[in-house]
């Protein structure tokens, strides 16, 4: 693992997590090549193997917003960048999981249920893919905004 990723013991996880993507890869192979330890667990659905990770990330910059026209001399399309706050580190909890009854060549990425907006989920998932070096084309499925939670 890297300094941007730390493993979290399963007993320390107190968050609700939702599946957001499925990766076409064996979880065991993926974890072994990244130095990630998998734990065994059981829930109401089945037995599973999982890893809980905390990714270090810096809060995303506030996007620029279109300026309102102040009159005929104001250039159309001008964009004004919002002032940027101090860089703030925000940890992101991620679970990588494969249920025993699921295909051995895929695993799911779970993110915190508190990510309600589609842009929040997209930004978090993009960060997971980037930090864990998962090519986007390896995603077999990804939750869409219209998918039920």
Residue 74 belongs to some domain of the structure:
no
Sign of the C-alpha dihedral, residues 118, 124, 130, 135?
Answer: negative
63 alpha carbon, distance to own chain's centre: 20
Angle at 145 between CA 14 and CA 143, to 5 degrees: 60
What is each CA distance from 71 to 24, 53, 67, 75, 76, in whole angstroms?
54, 51, 12, 9, 10
The domain that holds 101 is classified in CATH as 3.30.310
Range of the domain at 17: 5-59+87-142
Residue 113 belongs to some domain of the structure:
yes
Residue 31 belongs to some domain of the structure:
yes
pTM confidence score: 0.78
Residue 35 belongs to some domain of the structure:
yes
pLDDT tens sequence across 6-53: 999 999 999 999 999 999 999 999 999 999 999 999 999 999 999 999
Residue 43 belongs to some domain of the structure:
yes
Residue 138 belongs to some domain of the structure:
yes
pLDDT tens sequence across 53-112: 999 865 553 333 344 444 444 444 444 444 455 556 779 999 999 999 999 999 999 999
- For the chain, the maximum distance between any two Cα atoms, rounded to a whole number of angstroms, is 66
Residue 71 belongs to some domain of the structure:
no
Count of structural domains within the chain = 1
120 alpha carbon, distance to own chain's centre: 9
Residue 82 belongs to some domain of the structure:
no
């Amino acid at each position: 693992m890297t300094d941007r990723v730390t493993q979290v013991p399963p007993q320390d996880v107190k968050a609700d997590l939702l599946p957001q993507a499925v990766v076409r890869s064996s979880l065991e192979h993926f974890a072994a090549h990244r130095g990630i330890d998998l734990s065994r667990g059981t829930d109401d659905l089945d037995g599973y193997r999982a890893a809980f990770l905390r990714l270090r990330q810096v809060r995303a910059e506030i996007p620029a917003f279109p300026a309102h026209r102040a009159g005929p001399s104001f250039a159309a399309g001008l964009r004004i960048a919002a002032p940027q706050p101090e860089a703030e580190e925000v940890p992101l909890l991620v679970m990588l999981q494969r249920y025993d009854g699921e295909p051995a060549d895929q695993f799911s990425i779970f993110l915190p249920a508190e990510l309600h907006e589609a842009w929040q989920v997209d930004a978090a998932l993009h960060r997971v893919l980037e930090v864990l070096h998962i090519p986007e084309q390896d995603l077999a499925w990804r939750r869409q905004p219209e998918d039920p939670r």
